[in-house]
Amino acid sequence: MSLEPALAATPARTGPGGRSALREALIADYWPLLLGLAAMVIPSLVTLGRETWTTELGAHGPIVLVTGLWLLWQVRDEIRASAGKPLGFGALLALLVPLVVVYALARALELLFVEIAVVYAMALLVFARFFGLRGIVRNAFPFLYLAFLIPPPGYVIDALTGGLREMISAGATAALSGLGYPVARWGVSISIAQYQLLVEDACSGINSIVGLTAISLFYVYILHRASWKHAALLIALILPIAILANFIRVIVLILLTYYFGDAVGQGFAHNLAGIVLFAFALALMAGADWMIRRFVPFARASRGGAPA
């Protein structure tokens, strides 16, 4: 439960002062390292907030940052208890120097994905200097969760979700056509009456799948950390829930356009639909969780109920 592994090089500072002495030693010995990390983290977060957190693809960023830091704070005693041999200064320096070079190039070339990934890697190295790699491995989830701060390149998202966009738009068109609406789809366009929507715009909510995954994993970890079967089942439902939520969103946007015109369907309602989608998907996750606890035998048994 102490920081001795991280301060093995300064035993004289760990005397009768207890944890306060350890904390003072930590600050005294490592403040240049922490200051250097802060000098990179702060401007990168500002850039991330300006360029990504204001978009649907990165709107989950502030939530992940706050909840991720909260998770680290909650497991701080476990991290201290599991701390191992700290990363040597030589190894730390050998790894940080090339990362700093890559960071400088990424900022100069405005490669935000690379920049944030490098900052994340440097933060892990600094943490390993304090508590060793074992402290990270044995408390891996908060660190993996914070990796959702790294914004995936747009072309990667397009490649991964292109098939889902096609499936959702085709399904929505078929459903509304079956209900008698004058709707059709040609390539990347959906037409309803005299209006036309781009499939990319109508299905842009699928970009939020990264944020939905992150927040859903947080939900699963907090509530079902001790039950891996329950957690695995909920994790398996993340993608189907995201697809269902986006399917409903596309139908709603098409109907809003049909009844109220482009100004509503592709204006403020489009942005509002993104917020509602996120809340709806989380509600579906909570509903799925309730169904599992209510009807799945192993989940009922873990709560003390009799297996079905």
Active site residue ranges: 203, 249
Beta carbons of 251 and 177 less than 8 angstroms apart: no
Hunting for tokens 């944030």 — which residue is that?
Answer: 116
Residue type present at position 128: A
CB atoms < 10 A from the CB of 121, how many? 17
Long-range contacts of 6-14 (CB under 8 A, 24+ apart): 6/83, 6/86, 6/129, 6/130, 6/131, 6/132, 8/86
With beta carbons less than 8 A apart as the criterion, state whether 76 and 139 touch.
Answer: no
One-letter amino acid at 56 equals E
Task: List, in sequence order, the alpha helices (H) in the chain.
Answer: 18-51, 61-74, 76-81, 89-109, 112-137, 140-146, 154-178, 199-202, 209-224, 228-236, 238-260, 262-263, 269-295, 297-302
